[in-house]
Structure 1
């Protein structure tokens, strides 16, 4: 179980690192745009991401 969590974390780091590594200028502009969004919109986006992740896990396990 713990091994699977480490594998999932490693894959997360790889996927998250691809954007800044391959497109640093676009990534920086994207982060600036996200930082300017209202907090309620960021909270909603985060909630949607969590729900989508839970649904994906439900169907994968």
Structure 2
């Protein structure tokens, strides 16, 4: 979800600071964002994929209120 959100928000990957060596969650998020950037995923496509991913999670786990 993080990578889709970063692309959809129009944030520039080139300006991103690479996470530290021991920041494993940060590295995972950064790598996913880089993957989508390298694939030239558009902001509109990223928004669509983000919504699809959230809908799939809601369908699988439901919502607690």
Higher-RCO chain (CA-CA 8 Å, sequence separation at least 6): 2
TM-score by length of 1: 0.41
More helix by share: 1
TM-score by length of 2: 0.39
